[in-house]
Amino acid sequence: MSLRCPTCGASYNDSARFCTRDGTALLPLATGPAHGPGPQALQGALRAPDGGARVNVPVPKAELPAHATLAGQILDGRYLIERKLGEGGMSFVYLATEVATGTRRAIKVLSPSLSQDATAMARLKREAALAGKVRHPNVCHIECMGQTPTGLVYVVMPFLEGEILSDRTYRLGQLPIDEVVPLIVEIAAGLHAAHEEQVVHRDLKPENIMIVRGPDGRPHAVVMDFGLAKERHAGPELERLTATGIVLGTPEFMSPEQLRGKPLDGRSDVYALALITVETLTGALPFSGKSQQELMLARLRNEPTPIRKLRPDLRFPVSVERVLLKALARNPSDRYPSAPEFAAALAAATHPGSLGNTAQVLKKWFG
């Protein structure tokens, strides 16, 4: 059974009890049908009211900072704050209604102490600028960034009503492959839109994927939180910011080259997307370790555990396993060169013969 930290999303095997990063008690990521609310990473920006119980560190009311008690107030004369959706290490996220239009929004309010930190502000402005460049149905974009007269800094995003992918996997144990593949295709489409803008996500994980119900009634995937996104051709200022940034990503889903601090491109996101695919299909990750260091070393030194060993009770075409192992290659040049090519190969392997080859699937879904 895998365990996950509800605060940062880090995964551990069943011998661990507390997160080595923040000391939070670990919760199970079930490998079979589960009951009760699933864990969540509090840095996930958008969370539906019915998306599962929130796990917050209790804080006495007398100690709550001002930006944690905005419910019922009008922010910057524009947004009526309804309630808090979640919180992370550097922000609180609220559900709000735009007064002028009546439109619901999700608003991330930065901690006042961090808003006075030049590095934190640079990171937030970079997040807003990068995420604002990517416009795609499968990407949650930042609409604007503002600052109140009292100094509160905030960003405004669409409010997405749905369920975080990690919670969905926890609740169900694992998802059927015919449900997973369309979601992976949509995530790949969103990533491709970002990669076309020369932006790499860098922190792709199940906690950063929201599953929403579309007009057709089907579940659809939306990629969130480009807070660690980085332009592939970043200048020295962004290079220094990344080196000293507040968050460096989630080790469980980092590519080997990211763990080594090497230059990244879209193939690093392909690696993370393949890990998400494995966990969603099996309820487990293909690498294990008793600590963050062991997990990182396993990613750098070991081959991933095949899905047939992770879940012997599940039956997948052998071609599916081949596709996943290729996407999880340690050397980026051995992986699929783009997210759509990985998704198309996965779709073609899932239904051999019925969908045609990878090129035909690419043409059908990505044009």
Return the structure tokens found at 339: 């997210």
203 part of the active site: yes
Per-residue model confidence as pLDDT tens for the chain (367 residues): 567 666 556 666 665 555 655 555 566 654 333 333 333 332 333 333 333 343 344 433 445 566 668 899 999 999 999 999 887 666 788 999 999 999 999 998 887 777 777 776 776 677 677 777 788 999 988 888 888 888 888 989 899 999 999 999 989 888 999 999 999 999 999 999 999 988 888 889 998 899 999 888 899 999 987 754 554 444 433 333 333 333 345 678 889 999 988 989 999 999 999 999 999 999 988 988 888 788 888 888 989 998 888 888 888 888 999 999 999 999 999 999 999 999 999 999 998 766 666 666 566 666 6
Q: Domains of the chain: which residue ranges?
A: 61-158, 162-366
Domain 61-158 coded CATH 3.40.640.10: no
Catalytic residue among 22, 117, 203, 225: 203
Q: What's the CATH class of domain 162-366?
A: mainly alpha
Domains 61-158 and 162-366 share a fold: no
Return the structure tokens found at 126: 């970079």
